[in-house]
Structure 1
Amino acid sequence: MKYLAQPWQTLCHHLNPSCAFCGETRIPGYPLCQHCHAELPWLSVEDQRPLPGCTASVSAFAYQAPISSLLLGIKFGRNLRELATLGELTATGILPQLTQVPDAILPVPLHTARLHKRGFNQALELARPLAKQLGIPLLTRPIQRRKSTLPQTELDASQRQHNVHQAFQLHTSLPYRHIAIFDDVITTGATARELAAVLRAQGVAHVDIWSCARAILRQKHELDPQIDYH
């Protein structure tokens, strides 16, 4: 069984002792039962390849059920309780894969208009347990998404890259040599790579790309040649 994130222990006295997914008795100090934990589409280091332009890329899950439906439900249904649970599970999946701890985590920022409409930045909330357990800062102010882009899910690979070109603007210098960019889902990696380019241009030597989930297709016949899944 993978490393289990510990902050849930402080909430045990206040939460229902049932699994967040199925309602059965959960593992003490953890939001899921043994069965649901084992059934999640966990990724290991061997399941992933680095994205171009980054030092390392790490994701907790493959983007498939039930993680995919959870992420969509959170994003459009504003289920903040499930968001907190998924943040803890993301930390559980990512922490054992790390070989180096970055100086800070940078959640991919939302454009102001989208942030106001949604009410929260999903990437930021999912990254909170990671930052807390690693004891490093979450960067929420230095970089702004100055371009209101189309949703990446509506575009093909080449359109995604063009969509996020020059979408981010750095407002202040960053006193860090190693930063992990965090996004909820990595598909082509276009958004994270664009943000990584901004960081490298400002002298950040090592840029990791982390995510809750990643699109990983294992069979050659499943691959779309228009998409760089790795």
Structure 2
Amino acid sequence: MKVAAHLLQAANLLLHPGCAFCGLPRLPGYPLCEACHADLPWLPVEYNPTIAGCTASLSAFAYHPPINNLLLGIKFGKNLRELAVMGELTAVGILSQLPTVPDAILPVPLHTARLHIRGFNQALELARPLAKQLAIPLLTDTITRHKATQAQTELDSNQRQHNLHQAFRVQKPIRHQHIAIFDDVITTGSTARELASLLLAHGVQQVDIWSCARSILRQKHEAGAQIDYH
């Protein structure tokens, strides 16, 4: 009887999985329950200032708890289940405020040495649900990061720009006119500016920057309206 009960419980969890954060019943077709969804630091479009060289700038979240802790845990703990959930949530945040659909998404490339150590490109994996829902390609080998730069989090804004100078290289002809650069977190925007400059120099007409999260003063987003998940 106990075995049968455990099997029934396991089957129920598979058919009706709980909220990815708290385990309570989740919203239909969505990874979170209503309470966990409402508690996330969703970032309204008005708090996404444009970055030089980019036409539009969109981030799903402010880089505040629990998003910052989740992203750090995924990056260094290789928690692929949470990575998939964050990809879904990022898509919800971006698609809810998307003005136009680009021709392709360019996840910020990792240097091969860092990719080998980490095992995956977090920006690429977070961008997959967006590319799938928009039915547009992910540019994974058009531009490479040939310079092993120092981690941006260890530098100030001026050092970040110098650190990224000529860090990226175009490997294939760019045939798209409108490209969205995707990064996991935007801080100063140095990476986006460097990539946008390279894309524009190779004939791209419009460059947007999207991210899962963005560093922003806490008080700016707290009064913002919540995103409708329906």
Same-fold call, TM cutoff 0.5: yes
Q: Which residue of 2 aligns with 1:25?
A: 25
Q: Which residue of 1 aligns with 2:102?
A: 102
Question: What do the CA deviations read for 1:204-228 (whole angstroms, capped 9, x no partner)?
Answer: 01000000000111569xxxxxxxx
SS in 1 for 2:91: helix
Q: Does 1:122 align with 2:118?
A: no
Question: What letter is aligned with 2:200?
Answer: R
Q: Which residue of 2 aligns with 1:145?
A: 145
SS in 2 for 1:182: strand
Q: Equivalent residues in 2 for 1:144-183 (5 A)?
A: 144-183=144-183
Deviation at 1:173, TM superposition (A): 1.0
The gaps in structure 1 that reach 5 residues or longer are: 1-11, 221-230
The structure with the greater share of residues assigned to helix is 2
Q: Distance in 2 between matches of 1:144 and 1:210?
A: 18
Question: What letter is aligned with 2:170?
Answer: L
Deviation at 1:176, TM superposition (A): 0.6
SS in 2 for 1:69: helix
Q: Which residue of 2 aligns with 1:215?
A: 215
Question: What do the CA deviations read for 1:106-155 (whole angstroms, capped 9, x no partner)?
Answer: 00000000000000000000000000000000000111100000110000
Q: Distance in 1 between matches of 2:57 and 2:205?
A: 15
Question: What do the CA deviations read for 1:79-128 (whole angstroms, capped 9, x no partner)?
Answer: 00000000000000000111110000000000000000000000000000
Whether contact under 8 Å (2:104, 2:179) holds in the other structure is yes
Q: Distance in 1 between matches of 2:120 and 2:70?
A: 16
Question: What do the CA deviations read for 1:40-93 (whole angstroms, capped 9, x no partner)?
Answer: 000111222111111100000000000000000000000000000000000000
Any runs of at least 4 consecutive aligned residues in structure 1 with deviations exceeding 2 A, and if so which?
12-16
Structure-2 change in CA distance of 1:201 and 1:14 (3 Å): farther
Whether contact under 8 Å (2:179, 2:206) holds in the other structure is yes
Whether contact under 8 Å (2:51, 2:192) holds in the other structure is no
How does the TM-score come out when normalised to structure 1? 0.88
**Which structure has the larger Rg?**
2
Q: Equivalent residues in 2 for 1:7-156 (5 A)?
A: 14=14, 17-156=17-156
Q: Distance in 2 between matches of 1:13 and 1:107?
A: 34
Q: Distance in 2 between matches of 1:100 and 1:155?
A: 34
Deviation at 1:20, TM superposition (A): 0.6
Structure-2 change in CA distance of 1:15 and 1:69 (3 Å): farther
% same residue = 72
The gaps in structure 2 that reach 5 residues or longer are: 1-11, 221-230
Q: Which has the higher contact order (CA 8 A, sep 6+)?
A: 2
Q: Distance in 1 between matches of 2:15 and 2:56?
A: 36
Q: Which residue of 1 aligns with 2:196?
A: 196
